[in-house]
């Protein structure tokens, strides 16, 4: 059992980054607003994104290099796409996850401060921990937090199943195709189960796992680790959608307008199913898993950005990456957004998740090129079914990206 747990790491880091805004916010709201009508989209978009993550893990585990190295071989256009994706996630995504986490703290501890102020304090504390421990410390923390919350979410979902369709409520919503429904679907899909930039993260984590000592992290282990984390993130998204449908669908629910109000509604789902006595346990678990998402983003993004700049400036893989410097830049960017650029919790979170499609097609394409490059042995080249799977996902992601761009232009 201990050996099995030790083999896990990057996949759980990926799940930690996934189980956050996309799950707690959008999967829950999908169930609350549309019943079980959007579960098919959760599964479909997750399947379409998977090849890009599989290629990232294959490349990293077979070459002991991150995708940054592969993208640098492809030239400045590829590096530019990576830089755009990292910039969006470093500031917009981190801000969104920190803001939802702050809402939980405000709701649970009845804090008198605003969501942005608490989010800034959380990011400061998280950065302080990471700069003194980096990957191994982040991995240990995430294993505990994600594992505990996953068990709690599954148990709560099982208990909520009898509530589905109770009191004469239906299971599926009457969806009329219009712009509001399309905007919601795009926002949810953008981060379901996570943005494609996560493929760059897991390539870096897989390399760090191999270099951080401890158990041997072979190619087979890396694939298994990814499959476990990916399956877990999809399963938890379905759990939150089911809970939202069981407790909130076709009720007098009012959409929350602040981070704290949303957090209160989320915790109410659990306590309604399990009982009021469980509130302390559930509150701590919810805070823990959301905070683990902040840990994952603030560990990965500065690390990858530092390596990217090494290649852009010609220093290469052997340069000592200034992790702490880029962590500081990330923190300052989050502070600016929270202090001056955010006007509405709901609008900002929807925009943040939709941005997951900005670079998705490009990342899917370059990850495919990476695993077919000369650095990877031909015996590991994607099979014909996997290639078809990849190109189907590429076209689908391009369609979503175009739809997001159009939606933003006419808004």
Tens of pLDDT, residue by residue over 41-53, are: 999 999 999 999 9
Task: State the architecture of 2-410 in CATH terms.
Answer: Up-down Bundle (1.20)
Dihedrals φ, ψ of 172, to 5°?
A: -125, 145
pLDDT digit string (tens) for 206-216? 777 766 654 56
Could you tell me which residue, 264 or 374, shows the higher pLDDT? Answer: 374
Burial class of residue 366, CB neighbours in 10 A (0-12, 13-18, 19+) = buried
| Ranges of each domain in the chain | 2-410
Q: CA dihedral defined by 191, 197, 199, 203, rounded to 10 degrees?
A: -140
Q: What average pLDDT does this structure show over 256-278?
A: 73
Could you tell me which residue, 206 or 190, shows the higher pLDDT? Answer: 190
The confidence score (pLDDT) of residue 264 equals 77
Please tell me the distance from the alpha carbon of residue 405 to that of residue 358, in angstroms, as a whole number.
8
Q: What do you get for the CA distance between the two ends of the chain, in Å?
A: 52
Which residues, 6 or more positions from 342, have their beta carbon under 8 angstroms from its beta carbon?
Answer: 95, 99, 116, 348
| Angle CA 142–146–147, to nearest 5 | 110
Residues 279, 107 contacting (CB under 8 angstroms): no
The confidence score (pLDDT) of residue 1 equals 47
Cis peptide before 309 (omega within 30 of 0): no
| Residue 182: CB atoms within 10 Å | 14
The tokens for 175 are 């969806």
Could you tell me which residue, 201 or 332, shows the higher pLDDT? Answer: 332
> Mean pLDDT across the chain, nearest whole number?
81
Please tell me the distance from the alpha carbon of residue 242 to that of residue 38, in angstroms, as a whole number.
10
**Positive or negative: CA dihedral 194, 115, 285, 138:** positive
Please tell me the distance from the alpha carbon of residue 380 to that of residue 20, in angstroms, as a whole number.
33
Checking if the pLDDT of 6 tops 70, the result is: no
Dihedrals φ, ψ of 240, to 5°?
A: -70, -35
Please tell me the distance from the alpha carbon of residue 204 to that of residue 66, in angstroms, as a whole number.
5
The confidence score (pLDDT) of residue 217 equals 63
Burial class of residue 215, CB neighbours in 10 A (0-12, 13-18, 19+) = middle
Checking if the pLDDT of 86 tops 70, the result is: yes
**Positive or negative: CA dihedral 372, 399, 396, 388:** negative
The confidence score (pLDDT) of residue 316 equals 57
The number of helices, as runs of H, and strands, as runs of E, in the chain is: 18, 0
Residue matched to tokens 């923190």: 331
Q: What average pLDDT does this structure show over 300-321?
A: 71
The tokens for 198 are 């996560």
């Amino acid at each position: 059992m201990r050996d099995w747990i030790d083999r896990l790491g990057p996949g759980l880091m990926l799940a930690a980054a996934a189980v956050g805004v996309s799950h707690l916010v959008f999967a829950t709201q999908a169930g609350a607003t549309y019943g079980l009508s959007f579960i098919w989209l959760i599964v479909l978009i997750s399947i379409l994104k998977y090849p890009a993550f599989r290629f990232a893990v294959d490349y990293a585990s077979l070459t002991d290099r991150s995708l940054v190295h592969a993208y640098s071989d492809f030239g400045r256009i590829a590096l530019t796409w990576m830089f755009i994706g990292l910039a969006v996630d470093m500031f917009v995504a981190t801000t969104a996850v920190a803001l939802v986490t702050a809402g939980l703290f405000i709701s649970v501890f009845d804090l008198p401060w605003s969501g942005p102020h608490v989010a800034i304090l959380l990011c400061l504390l998280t950065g302080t921990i990471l700069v003194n421990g980096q990957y191994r410390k982040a991995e240990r923390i995430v294993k505990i937090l994600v594992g505990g919350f996953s068990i709690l979410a599954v148990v709560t979902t099982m208990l909520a199943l009898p509530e589905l369709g109770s009191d004469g409520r239906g299971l599926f919503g009457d969806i009329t195709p219009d712009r509001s429904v399309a905007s919601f679907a795009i926002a949810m899909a953008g981060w379901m189960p996570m943005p494609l930039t996560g493929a760059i993260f897991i390539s870096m984590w897989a390399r760090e796992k191999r270099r951080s000592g401890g158990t041997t992290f072979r190619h087979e282990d890396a694939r298994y680790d990814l499959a476990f984390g990916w399956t877990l993130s999809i399963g938890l998204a379905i759990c939150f959608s089911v809970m939202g449908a069981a407790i909130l669908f076709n009720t007098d629910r009012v959409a929350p307008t602040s981070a704290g109000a949303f957090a209160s509604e989320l915790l109410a789902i659990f306590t309604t199913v399990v009982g009021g006595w469980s509130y302390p346990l559930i509150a701590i678990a919810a805070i823990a898993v959301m905070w683990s998402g902040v840990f994952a983003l603030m560990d990965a993004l500065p690390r990858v950005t530092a390596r990217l700049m090494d290649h852009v400036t010609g220093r290469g893989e052997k340069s000592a990456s200034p992790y702490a410097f880029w962590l500081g830049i990330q923190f300052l960017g989050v502070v600016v957004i929270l202090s001056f650029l955010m006007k509405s919790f709901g609008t900002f979170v929807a925009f943040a998740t939709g941005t997951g499609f900005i670079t998705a097609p490009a990342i899917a394409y370059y990850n495919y090129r990476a695993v077919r490059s000369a650095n990877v042995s031909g015996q590991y080249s994607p099979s014909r079914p996997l290639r078809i799977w990849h190109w189907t996902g590429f076209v689908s992601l391009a369609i979503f990206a175009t739809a997001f761009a159009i939606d933003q232009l006419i808004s």
